[in-house]
Amino acid sequence: MRYPIKGWIKNSFCDWDSKISSVIFLPGCNFRCSFCQNWPLVERYEDIPDVEWLEIESYLIEHRDFIDGFVITGGEPFVSDFLFDIIEKIKSIGIAVKIDTNGTFPDKLKYLIENELIRGVSMDVKDALEAEFYSRICGITITPELMEKIIESTKILMNSKIDYEFRTTLVRKFHTIDNLKKIGVQLKGARKYVLQQYRSIGVKDGFDGGEPFSKEEMLRFQEVLSEFFQKCDIRYYGTNT
C-alpha cells in the first residue's frame, strides 16, 4: 500500500511530552489558518515527495524499544482516508499513537478513543470557542454546526482517559486576554492546556501576525489561566522567531 506521507521526523523529543516519538506529516486540511506554518502541506502537497511507508515501518520495528510514541500530524490528519490503516499498523507494532487535530471530526475521534487505537491527542483551540472568533482565524467560514463539532471534540477528550492537551497558538493580531479567559471558562477543568508562542518562520508571505509575545507576556497569560486547568504550560521558542 502506498500512503502519501509528506514528512517524517525519525526521533523527536518535543512532540509528545515525556515520550521519544517518531512523527509523520499528512497532507491536506479543511482549514486555511493565516498563520499556518505547514501551509505547503495544506495547499501544495502535490509538490512534496512521498516518504516511503515501508522505510518508516521498518525503522519503527527496529527501534521499538527506543521509540515509545508515534505522532501523526499535518495538515489535519483526519482528512486522510488512509489514517486508520496507518494507526492499525502502528498499533500492531506496539507503539502508542497520538494525533494532532483541529477538532472538526468528533465522530472519528470518538471511534479511535473508544476502540483504544490512540493514546494521545493534541487539539488546537484556535480562540474562544465561538464561530465568530474561529472564522477570523481559520480562513474559512465556521458555521454554527462546525463549531458544535469542535466543541463536541473538546467534550469527548475531557470525558476520556487518554493523554490529551488543548493548545492555543498565541498570535498578537488575534488573541486578547479576554478571549483567553473565555477559553478558560469554556474548558474549565481540562487536564492540560498549553499556550504556544506564534512563530513567523514558515508562514505565508504577506501575513503579519504582529510581534511574537515575549516570555514575560506568556508567563502572565499562564498565571491568569492556571486557575482554570489542572495544568497550564507555555511553549516559548525564543526571540528569533
In the complex, the residues that contact ligand SF4 under the rule CB under 6 A are 29, 31-33, 36, 38, 42, 74-76, 102
Of 180, 177, 156, whose CA–CA distance to 167 is shortest?
Answer: 180
Considering beta carbons, is residue 9 or 224 the nearer one to ligand SF4? 9
Give the nearest distance from C-beta 223 to ligand SF4 in angstroms.
26
Shortest gap between Cβ of 2 and ligand SF4 (angstroms)?
A: 23
| Between 33 and 72, CB nearer to ligand SF4 | 33
Least CB distance to ligand SF4 at residue 196 (A): 11
No. of helices (H) and no. of strands (E), the chain: 8, 8
Nearer to ligand SF4, 51 or 224 (CB): 51
- DSSP SS3 for 32: coil
Partnered with residue 22 across adjacent β-strands are 70
Name residue 108's amino acid.
Answer: K
Q: How far is the CB of 161 from ligand SF4 (least distance, A)?
A: 26
Nearer to ligand SF4, 67 or 170 (CB): 170
> Is the Cβ of residue 22 or residue 73 nearer to ligand SF4 in the bound state?
73
Start-to-end Cα distance in the chain: 39
Considering the complex, what minimum distance in angstroms separates the CB of residue 61 from ligand SF4? 29
Using CA atoms, how far apart are residues 157 and 122, in angstroms rounded to an integer? 10
Quick one: 38 or 196, whose CB is closer to ligand SF4?
A: 38
Under 8 Å between Cβ of 56 and 5: yes
Beta bridge partners of 98: 71, 120
Q: Least distance in Å: CB of 117 to ligand SF4? A: 22
Give Cα separations from 189 to 4, 38, 173, 180 (angstroms). 38, 31, 28, 15
Q: CA 142, CA 218: separation in Å to the nearest integer?
A: 27
Q: Where are the extended beta strands (E) located within 102-140?
A: 120-124
